[in-house]
């Protein structure tokens, strides 16, 4: 009998209706009400910095990229997930994501799939895998075409883009 492999992760329901999964070991902190510092001439999805523990961290917020969403899904959120990852030189870097909610989830190996039709997703060049799950509750008000897919992304690639 073969044992099923599982991975524990946090599922981030992002502003803009997208869903990402990150390893539980990559979460630094969930913060509320962090002041946003505007970055002039930055891309729409990353036009703010937040100050966290004496560091300025880029805030990824896909709300600006999702003009087709209902207004209830595009309201500003005060929930920000700080995610950490290692660069090639072993230095620790941080990214912040504006989230509407987070939930812990265990992904079974058979749930992983190769993502399809990801061309219109703002972080498409950073996607490395995806999964669909009938057991995880999705926001029923989310009308985004990616609402049934949770994406796993390469943080280093997203950070450098």
Residue 75's pLDDT is 42
- In this structure, the number of other CB atoms found within 10 A of the CB of residue 3 comes to 6
Residue range 42-56, pLDDT digits in tens: 877 788 899 999 999
pLDDT band of 69, cuts 50, 70, 90? very low
Residue range 84-141, pLDDT digits in tens: 988 778 888 899 999 998 989 887 777 767 666 666 777 777 776 777 755 544 443 4
Domain boundaries, the chain: 6-160
Which of the pair, 157 or 134, is modelled with greater confidence?
Answer: 157
Residue 17's pLDDT is 81
DSSP 67: T
């Amino acid at each position: 009998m073969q044992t099923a492999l599982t991975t524990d992760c946090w599922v981030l329901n992002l502003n803009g209706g997208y869903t990402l999964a990150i390893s539980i070991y990559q979460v630094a902190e969930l913060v509320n009400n962090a002041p946003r510092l505007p970055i002039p001439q930055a891309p729409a999805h990353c036009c703010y910095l937040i100050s966290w523990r004496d560091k300025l961290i880029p805030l990824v917020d896909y709300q600006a990229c999702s003009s087709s969403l209902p207004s209830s899904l595009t309201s500003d959120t005060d929930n920000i997930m700080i995610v950490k990852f290692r660069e090639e030189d072993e230095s620790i870097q941080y990214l912040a994501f504006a989230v509407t909610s987070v939930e812990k989830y265990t992904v079974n190996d058979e749930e992983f799939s190769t993502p399809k039709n990801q061309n219109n997703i703002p972080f498409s060049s950073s996607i490395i895998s995806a999964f669909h799950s009938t057991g995880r509750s999705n926001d029923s008000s989310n009308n985004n075409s990616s609402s049934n897919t949770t994406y796993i992304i390469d943080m280093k690639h997203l950070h450098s883009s």
